[in-house]
Structure formats: structure tokens, C-alpha cells
Structure 1
Amino acid sequence: MIENQYCGIITIIGRTNVGKSTLFNKLINQKISITSHKINTTQKNIVGILTKKIYQYIFIDSPGFDTQKKIFFKKKILKDDITNKSCLILFVIQALKWTLTDQKILEWIIKKNVQYFIIINKIDLIKNKKLLLPFIKKISQKNIFNKIFLLSAKKDFFLKKLISEIKKKIPKKKHIYLLKKKTTCTKKFLIKEILRKSLLKCLHQEIPYNIKILPPLIRKYKDKAYFIKIFIKVKNLRYKKILIGKNGKKIKFYRKSTKYILEKMFKKKIYLIIIIILEKSTF
């Protein structure tokens, strides 16, 4: 007799920089989606899969919404509607902050008629916890029939309670992915994302967001190692100098930090080459 199985898609949405990717990584117990204090760190939908016995959770980490950029908001909401197949939406907001963007996202969720939880994240940053109660009451007035959770995804505060409630919303359905499957992202995508995280970490405010990381060239060696070559394309020589850094200090940092994370992720020896080229260059 085949055991009953439960499977569902849970989409994490919210405005930029509220901690969606941190929550995503904690929920799937894998560091797949990159995290940073910079806005728009997540640029594409990232799928993470967690299978526990008869339950399979398919989490989607979505790019942050910014209604100040109306075209961006409409494009992400209407053209790339990630909620159509979701059994649950996790709407993440920051503790003590409710913006016009949050309000518009909530109105959109309500129109979609999909089950959702509101996640008040980053409560570890609030020193005076008494301030949370009036904020919860304010959100409750906007969110009459759905649950609200206090959370610190970074510190794991109340994470188990959230997972327990998510489990109750997963419908009875055959698993979509095999047990060992952790993400639908390709190796090339993950390599690019990890390098992008290293760039964001090192460059701080001088990061040129319009740089382009080309798909890496990967060569496998007897199932023991990967030889990886990545080209970063920039618009001009000034950007190239910024990315390389004085005496190549910055590019050495990207290589070292990216190599370290890749070796942990792939459990193989990594030989990594990073080359920065100008936009008009050919190779």
C-alpha cells in the first residue's frame, strides 16, 4: 500500500530587504538563496525543496517588490505570477515598519484569494519588545482572517512554530521531486549566485549593479574536482579597476570566498578562475 504523501508550493514574497532569503535558507536548511543588506539581492525566483518523510515543501524565494518603481512591480506581479500554483504565501514584513509597498502587496494577495501568513521578521533588532504589541494590533486590523507570526529568521526565533503551521497547509498530493533533490537551480546558476554574493560583500556601496556575470565554464575531473572559469563583464575600465581592487586584493577575495562556499556545497575540490572583461571584449 502506497503511503499518503503531502506536497505543496509555498511562495515567500515581500518588499526588498525584509529578510526573505534568510528565511528561505532557514526553511530548507540549505544556503541556496544569497543574502545581503543590499536591496534587490535576489533577482530571480529561486526554488528550494525540503522533503521530510511524507511531506515535501517546495519553497520559492521571490525578488523583492518596490512599488516606487511601478513598471518593475507590475512586471513581477502580472508577467511573472509566482502564486498561481501556491498553496500558501508567506508575506514577510519588517518589525515596526509598514510601508505603502507593504500595503499594495497585501491588497494584491487578498485579491488572489490564496491562503497566506504575515511574517513580522527581524524582531531581534527591536530592543523595546513592548512596541511590538501595538504594531501587531495595527497589522491585525488589515489581516482579519489570517495568521500573524513574530520571527527572527536570522536568530531562529519562533521558526519551529512557523514550520509547524506551514505543515498544516500542505495538501495531500504526490511528491513532485525525488528525495535528494534540494533545488531546481542548475550548477551554473548557483555558481553565479555565490559569486554575486561575494561581490556584494566586498564592494559595499560602490557595487555596479549593471555588471554581468556570464555563465561559468565547468569541467569535471574524475568525479573528484571541478575546474570552473567565470567571466565578469563590465561597461568600462573604471568598473574593472574597482572590481579588481588595489594589487588585485578584491578579486582575490571573490575567488577565495566563492571557492570556499562552492566546495562546501558540491563537496568537491574546486579550481576557480575569475576573469573581468570589458563589455565589448570577445573571448
Structure 2
Amino acid sequence: MSSRLLYARGGNEALDVNPNTGTDIHVADSGSDWYWTVFCIMAVTSLGYIGLAYKVPRRNRFFHYLSIGASFFACIQYFTMASNLGWAGVQTEFSHLQGGGIRQVFYARYIGWFMVAPLLILNMCFLAGLNWITALFTAAMIGVYIIGGLVGVVVSSTYKWGFFTIGLAAWFLVAYQLIWVCLRSLNELQSVAVEPKIRKYYRMLIGGVVFIYSLYPIAWGLSEGGNVITPTSEGVFYGVLDIISLTILNSFCLCISQLVDIEELGLGIVGEPIAPAAAAAPSTEKQN
């Protein structure tokens, strides 16, 4: 592109290199700029998680590794959308915005969520001391929640709301697991009896996660589902929720994890040495 265009656009040529061809309702230049901003936030978050991981012994990095993986997937997700890639044009069901037409929907967003959200949910489940089967079930349900939204956005007829409803039902299961099963499991941990503030922090974490993730269906209904707000406003809505869920709530989860004995959770990484006294103690004593 010409240097004049580069100067006028401030260096962001994403929509010129990858145009919104064939769409009537699409993201604006400011929307791409916003996606680049969120990408930078996710990149800084990734570096922060890496730095935090190297401040603790390798044996205690379970939650850090999941967080690093989630943040890197988020980087790929937002780099793709900022570059105006990973989207499809879908005929809108409703004509609230611009009289309807072909709307740009980012399937890359849902692919990113499908990789990010289960890792964040696993962090919360394992922090509460859930067994692997229950934790994986909860992560699978958050995946169903996301897939329901993904299939719904590429369907132009009213049947999209059927997929939306299935995904929402899966989310109710996840919320139940977090509010009831995780809290009950956390209360059974011996370290929590010593540190009652952990229960308080974890309740705050669950409240934040359930609230934020319950806003995603509202954003879906206003954007890809109902065609009420523009793709740029959609990006801002989703972006703010993603920033809160990954960089704030998950970071809070990491802070709480430092107050819980990793050995009691059974998440010590195999291959790392254990203190001689702990290694020689009976299994029942190791949890004390």
C-alpha cells in the first residue's frame, strides 16, 4: 500500500489487505484497531503469566501452565480478528440494523473461546479440588456452550435459536458445577479449614465468572443473533468480557492458588523432587 495510506491509517492496513468483500454489515477500521488493542493486552498477559510461572518451583506450575496456554490461544484469536480474517458472511434473520443483509461473523472468535474457556474452567475446578472426571465434564460443558453459539451464528434461519438454547442449557450445568459442586469440594480441603479466607476469595471468583459468562449470551443476542448492534460494537462488548475473564478473573484464580497446598490438590508435577520428610510420611500425613 502507499505510504500516504499507511500514514493516514496509522499503520493498520488490515481491512485494506483483507477487505470485507461480499458483506453489507461488517467491522469498521476502529473495530480492527480495537482488536489489535485486545491482542496487545492478551500478549502482555501471556508474558505476565510466563514471568509468574518462573517465580515458583516447576512442581507448582500447574495453574500457571493452563493460564499460559489460554492466553496464547487468546492471542491467536485476536490476532486473527484484528487482521480481519477468520470470518464468514451470513444472511441476517432480523433487519434491525441497516435493514438486514449479509453480516460479517467471526468464527475465529468461537474457535479461540473453545480453546481458552475450558482451560480457565479447569483452573477453577482443580483449585477447588475436584477429581479429573468431574473437572473434564465441566470443561466439556463449557465447550458445548461455545459450540452452540458457533453453529448458531452461521445459521441464517430461526433455527439458530435452537443451537443457542442447547448451548445455554450447557452453561446452566457449568454454573451449577461452579456454584454447588466446586464450593462443596473446596470446603472439604484440609487447607481451607486453616485458611478460611480462601473460601471467601473463591466465592468472589465464582460470582465474577458466573456473572461475566452470563453476559455472553446477551452479547450474542444483540449481535450475531438479533442483528441489533454493529460488528464493531459487538467486538467491543465481547472484547471487554474476554479481558475481564482472562486477565482479571483468571489472574485472581492464580493468586488464590498460591494459598492452597498443591500437594493436597494432587497436582504436583511428576518428576520434581519432594522434601525428604514429606516423601517419607504416610499418605494421610502428607495432606496435613
- The TM-score, its normalising length taken from structure 2, stands at 0.24
Q: Which has the higher helix share?
A: 2
- Normalising by the residue count of structure 1, what TM-score does the alignment of the two structures yield? 0.24
Larger Rg: 2
